[in-house]
Structure 1
Amino acid sequence: MALDQETLSQLLDTVGRFVRDRLVPLEHQVAEDDAIPPHIVAEMRDLGLFGLSIPEEYGGLGLTMAEEVQVAFELGQTSPAFRSLIGTNNGIGSQGLVIDGTEEQKRHYLPKLAAGEMISAFALTEPEAGSDAGSLRTSARRDGDHYVLNGTKRFITNAPHAGLFTVFARTDPASRDAKGVTAFLVEAGTPGVTVGPADRKMGQKGSHTADVVFQDARVSAANIIGGREGQGFRTAMKVLDRGRLHIGAVCVGVAERLIRDSLAYALDRQQFGQPIAEFQLVQAMLADSRTEAYAARCMVLETARQRDAGRDVGTEAACTKLFCSEMVGRVADRAVQIHGGAGYMAEYGVERFYRDVRLFRIYEGTSQIQQLVIARSMIRDAKGGR
């Protein structure tokens, strides 16, 4: 449900102040400790950040896509680790349930996710199934009123903290594609479910991923999302548009933060008797970054509005995610260059963002997958127009 402009402005102002006053000062500590302080997590709960996209009737804020991306612009102004903690509850960890879940499933889980009492995780990727999600090997064998799950999931965001996993498993052993895949709601602590140690990553310290292993884990048939076998991959695909737009918005926020920091440094840093901001080659890097970030912001907002209007924005969302994630990588690279040797030093934080943003081109569909989605859509439309 759309908020009135005054309420939305108050929300954005509150989130913006929280980012500036509470999160930015803790960036270095979170990176060093690889952990978000518990009191910050509690404040995020109090602000309702875990339930931004969850409908109001289940305890969330029920933001439209256009409203959600504006909040994501603000959250992107700091370390991506903070947003990552709330991201699964608002995106891939809850939206499959919101879109396809039974009413009983929604009422049982969504209020807990919206309140941040329970962290969700989206368990799709496997050691041998990443971009080719239809090739997953985790199996779910029917046994009376239950299914027995076996397999391993990899790089699962928030797995060490999750209370609920959306698990994609093959219920039709004869199938070799996505049609035999079913989505299950599996609670942490279920016998046979084990979470591995947190992965050691290039960046985004404070955001944790890990393997999740299923060994004869028994899950009730009532925990199939929507109550129907073979719909899992369709459910996964339905959440992608929203997830890709959200990530695009976060990329915009990070880019704007890097541009602001780079400009401030360029105005302060003196060389040859003047600020380096006066040198045209530095100005060119600043201008290119500002132009690309502005274009990305416009793409996110326009595609979000179209989605809210009920249009199929699959192609546009892929375009947005591709451009925004590649854009922020270029902006981060220029930020290091503008800072010079200081950009390579940890104390300035620019090198941390340089590492952090690299992941945006990989998860929620790699840049190459986005290119395939876009091109195939173009070809399909062209053939249909003949």
Structure 2
Amino acid sequence: MVLSEKYEMLRKNFRNFAETEFTKEIQDRLDATGEFDEELYAKMAKYGFTGVKIPREYGGQGADTLTYMIMGEEFARVMPVATIYVNTPNSLGAGPILMCGTEEQKQAILPDVAAGKKHIVFALTEPGAGSDAGSMQTYAVEDGDDYIINGRKCFISGAPFADYAVVYAKTDRTQKGSKGISMFIVDMKTPGISTGKPEAKMGIGGYPTSDISFDNVRVNKKWLLGPKDKGFQTALKTLNGGRLGVAAQSLGLAQGCLEEAIKYSKERVQFGRPICKNQAVSFAIAEMATEIEAARCMVYTAAQEMDAGVKDNYIKCAMCKYYAAEMANRVAYKALQIFGGYGYIKEYKIERMYRDARIFSIYEGTSQVQQMVISGALLH
């Protein structure tokens, strides 16, 4: 795909920021501590990255989806977790509010989110309702001017430091499955809310993930987001864009792995010559590069189709997420194999990238869920 000068300039800007700000020192620290870096987030906000997809009238940049994809790709090429820093406010956090929020809700929440002053998270998953989110047990009952929420969410990225959460809860427990679910914008400082200890994760260190518990949490009815009992449809639409974001993240990590492998294979000498001269290594690099380019074409096309309002774009997004996530894992594996024993040592960047890649085929819908979406659309 030939990109216009505008997009190539944007890519250059995103890449320059990533290569300048995502230092090895920061990456090592975040991987070791798992703590969120507010200073780095503030720098991202300063350049408008935290609101790149949020419309200008709400303090964002109003950029299109392709710009968003390129940003995610370039950030993940250097530091995959950094992509989550900008994905959450632009996609899962702001997405439901942009889709069906009232003007009052948008004005109250989005400007601070776009400016990086407030953090908002997406609270859908539960201990017994992961891929089958319609089986959620969290519920909300009306009480005067409020709803009272009880339940527990898990694996909520950003929960430990969030200011707001878009919370999904059953408001009609007589309906089965995904029916009868509503959305709420919840202030995380509301009495009755608590977060668990951040999970010790395999990868993506630097963006804490934890449970959120709700014990008789009162939320005023003005913070009901969208139509009552119709929230799950918005969740699916939000995840549609989120899956495309994960595809871009996968693409960027794979590109970074390829570059690391190429560089190392030229420097590493065995049997009197660089290992890149061995056919097994050179062919592996050829396979990696080809798969990456295929994923890039898929992701960019799906992004443009999303902005154009192409019908059934959700199928393309599922395909992108499925292919790019699995591709990133294959590429990370081959890249680490090229490093041999050194790839297993934490001193080398490829070790962390290998661990980071594993989450792509799990979060925002496992690869198997994407296969269900794709096959279901084709065989209905």
- Normalised to the residue count of structure 1, the TM-score between the two structures is 0.95
Which amino acid letter does the alignment assign opposite residue 330 of structure 1?
R
Alignment partners' CA distance in 2, 1:119 and 1:162:
5
Alignment partners' CA distance in 1, 2:81 and 2:315:
28
CA contact (8 A) 2:36 2:208 kept: no
Alignment partners' CA distance in 2, 1:6 and 1:55:
23
CA contact (8 A) 1:53 1:61 kept: yes
5 Å matches for 1:77-92?
77-92=77-92
CA contact (8 A) 1:247 1:321 kept: yes
5 Å matches for 1:71-150?
71-150=71-150
Alignment partners' CA distance in 2, 1:281 and 1:60:
48
Percent identical among aligned pairs is: 39
Which amino acid letter does the alignment assign opposite residue 214 of structure 1?
F
Which amino acid letter does the alignment assign opposite residue 292 of structure 2?
A
1:156 aligns with 2:138: no
- How has the CA–CA distance of structure 1 residues 36 and 164 changed in structure 2, closer, same or farther, with 3 Å as cutoff? closer
Cα deviations across residues 54-88 of structure 1 (Å, max 9, x unaligned)?
11110011111122111111111122222212221
Cα deviations across residues 202-259 of structure 1 (Å, max 9, x unaligned)?
1111111000000000001110112x21111011011122111111111111100100
Which amino acid letter does the alignment assign opposite residue 301 of structure 1?
Y
Other structure's SS at 2:130 match: coil
1:288 aligns with 2:287: yes
CA contact (8 A) 1:85 1:158 kept: no
Other structure's SS at 1:311 match: coil
* Gap regions ≥5 residues in structure 1: 381-386
CA contact (8 A) 1:269 1:275 kept: yes
Match of 1:13 in 2: 12
Q: Which moved more, 1:306-315 or 1:341-350?
A: 306-315
Cα deviations across residues 11-36 of structure 1 (Å, max 9, x unaligned)?
43222111011104322222123234
Alignment partners' CA distance in 1, 2:66 and 2:79:
22
Other structure's SS at 1:185 match: strand
Other structure's SS at 2:92 match: coil
5 Å matches for 1:189-208?
189-208=189-208
* Gap regions ≥5 residues in structure 2: none
Which amino acid letter does the alignment assign opposite residue 322 of structure 1?
Y
Alignment partners' CA distance in 2, 1:200 and 1:159:
14
Which amino acid letter does the alignment assign opposite residue 338 of structure 2?
I
Other structure's SS at 1:147 match: strand
Alignment partners' CA distance in 1, 2:299 and 2:230:
29
Match of 1:53 in 2: 53
Alignment partners' CA distance in 1, 2:65 and 2:17:
21
Other structure's SS at 2:310 match: coil
Other structure's SS at 1:369 match: helix
Alignment partners' CA distance in 2, 1:15 and 1:35:
23
Which amino acid letter does the alignment assign opposite residue 273 of structure 1?
G
Alignment partners' CA distance in 2, 1:229 and 1:309:
29
- Normalised to the residue count of structure 2, the TM-score between the two structures is 0.96
Q: How many residues align?
A: 376
CA contact (8 A) 2:198 2:210 kept: yes
Cα deviations across residues 292-326 of structure 1 (Å, max 9, x unaligned)?
00000000011111111110211111111000000
Query: 1:37 Cα deviation (Å)?
Result: 3.7
Match of 2:341 in 1: 341
Alignment partners' CA distance in 2, 1:87 and 1:317:
15
Cα deviations across residues 143-172 of structure 1 (Å, max 9, x unaligned)?
011010000000000001110100000000
Alignment partners' CA distance in 1, 2:232 and 2:47:
33
Which amino acid letter does the alignment assign opposite residue 52 of structure 1?
V
Match of 1:35 in 2: 35
Match of 1:383 in 2: none
Other structure's SS at 1:201 match: coil
